[in-house]
Structure 1
């Protein structure tokens, strides 16, 4: 995998955070499903997931707002507002906000006049929060239970990635996700799960055929029907 130079990665390294945070399985270039183990920088994966959600969001127009999404309780506007609000809430969690303060943001309009600009602003803020000193080692009080800042980082990756697909499916956009991003997130979920299987945060996993491609396996793991 080619290295990506991002502000988040630089911030993490300057703060003394571990650059390589876990090992993932990569597909060889010849298309064989045999695997090799390669170190991956979690901040690179975070950056890939942010880019993927932004790519799809850039294609959303006001005509799309009321379309249904794979998240049955949300239309397109509500889904986008959820993702942008999640950026805000994760920043607050990383900086020690209490449950009531965080919960209050769920009723806010996070989209404003320009959804893409609002996403960029809130995403930059949350990536910066993850890059702060000791952020990944902190205990954060997520509504689903206490977890580390590193766990929270992978939840943000999952949210940006899965909801990018949800949004693409809703608006008839390109549903193909970054293959390296899919591999990284799938490896994490295979090892740790989402940590949000209870409480309705993610739809229960669906069975995947043994020969399913990685993106299909990922989507089925979070209850989507590709």
Structure 2
């Protein structure tokens, strides 16, 4: 979680105001909307780690790195990983993997949109791919993942992860 979050926070810090309206590989979001989503994800998963409620998504505030640090602090407590979330009814380990997938994939979305290099942590990719392979259909039913994009079986793990959740690894603006 830490490496994926820190990498995404680095990318967020580099976004320039003139890039906020650019499209992203995540069809739902332009760059500004993606940043708002990331802020919400950080806030929500901090709350969930503390046993709190799901939070409502607000508008872009420009404070993702700070929110992400609070999220990481909340998940650094061993008790954050115990039991199930009262708000979502899912095991805390599942929630942690959901957060990880968001950080890894939305980091790539942002990097592609604004023309930055992106090299995700191999361990984070491996964990995210294993999780999404198991949860893809549920993710699609809940609107979190799009229809799968075909990628070769021998494609790199990150390309396979992108394909499983509905992203085209070859996407360009």
Q: TM-score, normalised by structure 2?
A: 0.86
Q: In structure 2, what is the equivalent of residue 50 of structure 1?
A: 5
- Aligned positions of 1:57-206 closer than 5 A: 57-99=12-54, 102=55, 105-106=56-57, 108-111=58-61, 115=62, 118-141=63-86, 145-190=88-133, 192-193=134-135, 195-206=138-149
Greater share of helix: 2
Q: Give the total of aligned pairs.
A: 168
**Residues 94 and 138, structure 1, Cα contact 8 Å, conserved in 2:** no
What is the CA–CA distance in structure 2 between the aligned matches of 1:160 and 1:98, rounded to whole Å? 20
**Residues 66 and 76, structure 1, Cα contact 8 Å, conserved in 2:** yes
Q: In structure 2, what is the equivalent of residue 33 of structure 1?
A: none
Aligned-pair distance for 1:151?
0.9
**Residues 132 and 165, structure 2, Cα contact 8 Å, conserved in 1:** no
Q: SS of 2:139's equivalent?
A: coil
Give 5+ residue unaligned stretches, structure 2: none
After superposition, give the CA deviation of every residue in 1:30-61 in whole Å (9 maximum; x if it has no partner).
xxxxxxxxxxxxxxxx1111122123223210
**Residues 182 and 214, structure 1, Cα contact 8 Å, conserved in 2:** yes
**Residues 136 and 149, structure 1, Cα contact 8 Å, conserved in 2:** yes
Q: Please identify the structure whose Cα radius of gyration is greater.
A: 1
**Residues 32 and 60, structure 2, Cα contact 8 Å, conserved in 1:** no
After superposition, give the CA deviation of every residue in 1:49-74 in whole Å (9 maximum; x if it has no partner).
11221232232100100111112221
Give 5+ residue unaligned stretches, structure 1: 1-45
What is the CA–CA distance in structure 2 between the aligned matches of 1:180 and 1:137, rounded to whole Å? 22
Aligned-pair distance for 1:110?
4.7
What is the CA–CA distance in structure 1 between the aligned matches of 2:76 and 2:10, rounded to whole Å? 23
Aligned-pair distance for 1:141?
4.5
1:130–1:176: structure 2 CA closer, same or farther, 3 Å change rule?
closer
In the TM superposition, structure 1's runs of 4+ consecutive aligned residues that sit over 6 Å from their partners are none
What is the CA–CA distance in structure 1 between the aligned matches of 2:65 and 2:16, rounded to whole Å? 17
Greater share of strand: 1
